[in-house]
Amino acid sequence: MTTPFRLLFLIPFVALAMLFAAPGAQAQTCTVTSISNFGTTTVDIVPNAPASASGQVSYNCSSFIPFTDVRLCAYIRVVNNNQIGPSDYSFYQTRDADSRLRWEIREQFNRRYARDGGGSVSTGGLKIFESSGRLMTNANGTSLLTLTYLDRQQQDRVRPGTYTDTYQLVTKYLFNAGNATCEAGLPNPTGMIVTNFTVTSVVPKNCQFENFQDIDFGSWGSVAAARASSTGVRAFGNVGMRCTYETPYSITIDNGQNASGGMRRMRKDTDFLAYQLLKPGCSSPWTTLSPFAGIGTIVSAINNHQVCGQLSTPLTVAPTAGTYSDLVIVTATF
């Protein structure tokens, strides 16, 4: 009779130990219920057009033990070193080993999401709580996100094409966090969630003129201008080009409004003064049939191309006094 009594006592004791151990391991847990991939964003970086995308991340937090609040702090983790930006708050999309597009994410309170392990503790996040102060066993929260592509002065090797990369949102959470903040760093978090999301953008091939400078030959005496050597009357202008990274382009300059016999001419009333426009170095004509070829550098910089203007002298007849001018059309093809 003694032996069966002992067996009946031991079996429910073991069962009770297992019953309490299992829930204890999962007592307080947060999960990501949804996260945006932000769609596809067109980033026309050359004219510096603003580009951003909206999204959100939603959480569910539950506990067998009632809680007052839960603080969630999110960070961005890159999956390869090429995606690491120059600061703790910016990241790169990569098209290949030699092109990249810089972006950052902010949440609804305008806090930037920091890079996980980047040395910064200021990052995006949210706090879930009941305004009435009641205890909870289950709660949901959503953080609104804005992904912004930084302006062209903060970019460099941006080639045209499609950029698609995957990153990880790392969320650390703390139940009954009280006054703990993401900015101050989350001490002894209850747990951590790692969730993948994708960022896709399209950069169109583009170029634009910038930093135009007119050619001004200045003031010359009529006889002095007529007697000047063929290289004695020169002035310089500039044509600037900004393009997507390593985009080839060509620039042509037409013959102007007063050309005759293939010669460009400046005009004053019924009088004309012949001149030439030459490529940088002042040795080759710059025309529609003889374009200048270039290639785009980093988008934060302008390619400046000097235009060499030269009067066609010496002249057989001294020009009459007055102001001579012409207007030429510059065309870029890319």
Query: Per-residue pLDDT tens for 90-129?
Result: 999 999 989 999 999 999 999 999 999 887 777 888 999 9
Residue 273 lies in a domain: yes
Structural domain ending residue among the three candidates 184, 203, 222: 203
Q: What angle (nearest 5°) sits at the alpha carbon of residue 260, between those of residues 257 and 263?
A: 90
Supply the pLDDT for residue 230.
66
Q: Say whether both 74 and 130 belong to one domain.
A: yes
Q: Say whether both 179 and 35 belong to one domain.
A: yes
Q: CA end-to-end span of the chain, whole Å?
A: 99
Q: What is the pLDDT along the chain (334 residues), one digit of tens a residue?
A: 333 433 333 334 333 333 333 444 458 999 999 999 999 999 999 999 999 999 999 999 999 999 999 999 999 999 999 999 999 999 999 999 899 999 999 999 999 999 998 877 778 889 999 988 899 999 999 999 999 999 999 999 999 999 999 999 999 999 999 999 998 888 899 999 999 999 999 999 999 999 999 999 999 888 887 777 666 789 999 999 999 999 999 999 999 999 999 999 999 999 999 999 999 999 999 999 999 999 999 999 999 999 999 998 888 788 899 999 999 999 999 9
Q: Say whether both 195 and 247 belong to one domain.
A: no
Residue 19 lies in a domain: no
Domain total of the chain = 2
Q: What is the DSSP string of 144-159?
A: EEEEEEPPGGG-----
* Structure-block tokens of residue 16: 């009770």
Residue 13 lies in a domain: no
**CA dist 257 to 149, 150, 253, 272, 309, Å?**
43, 42, 12, 11, 16
Q: Say whether both 150 and 241 belong to one domain.
A: no
Q: Say whether both 144 and 217 belong to one domain.
A: no
Q: What angle (nearest 5°) sits at the alpha carbon of residue 194, between those of residues 31 and 172?
A: 70
Check residue 176 and give left, alpha or beta (phi > 0: left; psi -120 to 50: alpha): left
Q: Say whether both 107 and 239 belong to one domain.
A: no
Q: Say whether both 146 and 86 belong to one domain.
A: yes
| Residue numbers of the domain that contains 97 | 28-203
Identify which of 170, 304, 332 has the alpha carbon closest to the alpha carbon of residue 237: 304
With tokens 């809680």, the residue in question is 67
Q: Say whether both 177 and 217 belong to one domain.
A: no
Beta partners for residue 207, in sequence order: 243
**Residue 160 phi, psi (nearest 5):** -70, 150
Residue 21 lies in a domain: no
**Residue 210 phi, psi (nearest 5):** -150, 160
Instruction: For the chain, count helices (H), then strands (E).
Output: 2, 18
Residue 18 lies in a domain: no
Q: What is the Cα–Cα distance from 132 to 3, expressed in whole angstroms? A: 56
Structural domain ending residue among the three candidates 203, 218, 252: 203
Supply the pLDDT for residue 5.
32
Supply the pLDDT for residue 229.
67
pLDDT by residue (tens digit) across 153-199? 999 999 999 999 999 999 999 999 999 999 888 889 999 999 999 99
Q: Say whether both 130 and 234 belong to one domain.
A: no
Q: What is the Cα–Cα distance from 245 to 102, expressed in whole angstroms? A: 14
Residue 310 lies in a domain: yes
Residue 73 lies in a domain: yes
Structural domain ending residue among the three candidates 183, 203, 223: 203
Q: What is the DSSP letter of 83?
A: G
Question: Cβ neighbours of residue 29 under 8 Å, at least 6 residues apart?
Answer: 61, 62, 63, 191
Question: Cβ neighbours of residue 70 under 8 Å, at least 6 residues apart?
Answer: 30, 61, 127, 128, 129, 139, 173, 174, 175, 176, 177, 190
Q: What is the DSSP letter of 129?
A: E
Q: Say whether both 193 and 63 belong to one domain.
A: yes
- Please, are residues 279 and 308 in contact by the beta-carbon 8 Å criterion? yes
The domain that holds 328 is classified in CATH as 2.60.40.1090
Supply the pLDDT for residue 179.
92
pTM attached to this predicted model:
0.85
The domain that holds 75 is classified in CATH as 2.60.40.2040
Q: Say whether both 32 and 89 belong to one domain.
A: yes
Q: What is the Cα–Cα distance from 295 to 97, expressed in whole angstroms? A: 19
Cis peptide before 86 (omega within 30 of 0): no
Q: Say whether both 199 and 213 belong to one domain.
A: no
- Please, are residues 166 and 197 in contact by the beta-carbon 8 Å criterion? yes
**CA dist 96 to 82, 158, 163, 299, Å?**
9, 10, 9, 17
Residue 37 lies in a domain: yes
Supply the pLDDT for residue 253.
98
